[in-house]
Chains A and B, each alone.
Chain A
Amino acid sequence: MTLDRAIAGLFLLLCLIYGYTAFVTMEANLLPFELNMTFLPNTMPKWLSVLGVIIGLVVVVQTGPKAQAEIDEGEIDYRNLRQYKLAQAIFLLGLMIAYALLLRPIGFIAATTLFLAGGGMILGERNYKLLLPIAIFTAFLIWYLVQELLGIFLRPWPWFI
Chain B
Amino acid sequence: MSALSFPDHPESVLMPTAGDRSQGRPRRWYRQPALMSGIVILAVILFLAAAAPLLSSYNPIAQDLNASLLGPSAHHLLGTDQLGRDTWTRLLYGLRTDLRIAFIAVLFPFVLGTVAGSVAGYFGGWVDVIIMRLVDIVVAFPFYVLVIALVFVLGPGERSIYIAITAVGWVSYARIIRGEILVAKRQDYVLAAQSGGLSSIRIMARHLLPNVITQAVIYAMSDIVQDILAIVTLGYFGLGVPPPTPDLGSMINDGQNFLSTHWQLTTIPGLAVVVVGLGLSLIGDGLADLIRTGQS
Q: Do A and B bind each other?
A: no
Binding site for B on A (CB under 8 A): none
Binding site for A on B (CB under 8 A): none
